[in-house]
């Protein structure tokens, strides 16, 4: 529901990073030929196609050939993780996920901007009716990281994006090797998040399978204990950084951003 260059959001982030780190090169990714398309694609363009498009943009950018730091907000957090896993050239150095839903989200989806509220209501109804049908999976972004703990088998079998990058259908050793090449994987969780269900997904935790009340942290998930993605090894090497910030989804102060996030970009 956002766009690359909105002066209130992503355009603002680009500006403050450039102001605080003189000489830095910042690319704010645009998917589509204009800002309207970029916003619409955040709802309706197959995520696998979006990741492919971004990988192409990064590979063609001469400023990034020596490696780059990536920062994704909300669903952009897990989309950029897919870039890290699938496209190792140019190399991603640090990945900063701000409120990304790495185990997915259920019963709603992250904050939807006011002017898109009619789209949001329609999407919620569509997800409730059939998030794991082929038509919905292929044409609705939020369905591609919809993770229903009461329908784990449906999720594993039919999720065309999240189940793939989370190694739910087998181990892709290339995904694992590429993610483990990161220097740091920084995950920011909003401690009063009312948009992501469950909020612990922002730290790679999720509901215990088969119910939607009790959650377990990353280190108790089979993804970690079986080390299907290399997260256990990265954790032991000090590469995983778990940050908590008070506030609802994507609510943070400039001061917090400057003191906590900017050091990972320098």
Catalytic residue among 2, 38, 193, 227: 193
Catalytic residue among 3, 42, 74, 159: 74
* Structural contact between residues 255 and 246, judged by C-beta atoms closer than 8 angstroms: no
Give the three-state DSSP class for 116: helix
CA distance 48 to 230: 22
Catalytic residue among 2, 97, 164, 249: 249
Contacts of residue 120, defined as CB under 8 A and 6 or more positions apart, other chains included, come to 1, 109, 112
In sequence order, what are the beta bridge partners of 244? 189
Based on the residue annotation, tell me whether 249 is a catalytic residue of this protein: yes
Continuous segment of H or E residues that includes residue 231: helix 231-236
Based on the residue annotation, tell me whether 28 is a catalytic residue of this protein: no
Two structure tokens written together for 258: 């400057």
CA distance 188 to 264: 13
CA angle 46, 51, 54 (to 5 degrees): 125
User: Any idea which residues carry the catalytic annotation?
Assistant: 74, 193, 249
């Amino acid at each position: 529901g956002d766009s690359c260059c909105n002066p209130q959001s992503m355009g603002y982030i680009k500006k403050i990073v450039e102001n605080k780190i003189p000489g830095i090169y910042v690319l704010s990714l645009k998917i589509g030929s204009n800002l309207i398309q970029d916003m619409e694609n955040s709802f309706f363009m197959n995520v696998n196609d979006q990741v492919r498009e971004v990988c192409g943009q990064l590979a063609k950018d001469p400023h990034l050939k020596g490696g780059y730091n990536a920062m994704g907000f909300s669903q952009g957090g897990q989309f950029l993780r897919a870039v890290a896993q699938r496209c190792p050239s140019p190399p991603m150095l640090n990945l900063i996920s701000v409120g990304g839903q790495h185990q997915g989200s259920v019963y709603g989806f992250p904050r939807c901007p006011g002017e898109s509220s009619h789209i949001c209501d329609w999407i919620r109804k569509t997800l409730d009716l059939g998030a794991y049908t082929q038509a919905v999976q292929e044409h609705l972004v939020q369905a591609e990281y919809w993770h229903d703990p009461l329908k784990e088998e449906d999720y594993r079998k039919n999720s065309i994006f999240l189940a793939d990058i989370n190694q739910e259908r087998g181990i892709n050793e290339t995904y694992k090797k590429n993610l483990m090449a990161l220097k740091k994987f920084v995950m920011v969780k909003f401690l009063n998040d009312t948009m992501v269900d469950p909020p612990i997904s922002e730290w790679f935790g999720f509901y215990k399978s088969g119910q939607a009340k009790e959650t377990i942290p990353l280190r108790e998930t089979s993804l970690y204990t079986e080390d299907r993605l290399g997260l256990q090894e990265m954790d032991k090497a000090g590469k995983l950084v778990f940050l908590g910030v008070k506030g609802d989804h994507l609510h943070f102060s400039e001061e917090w951003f400057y003191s906590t996030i900017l050091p990972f970009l320098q």
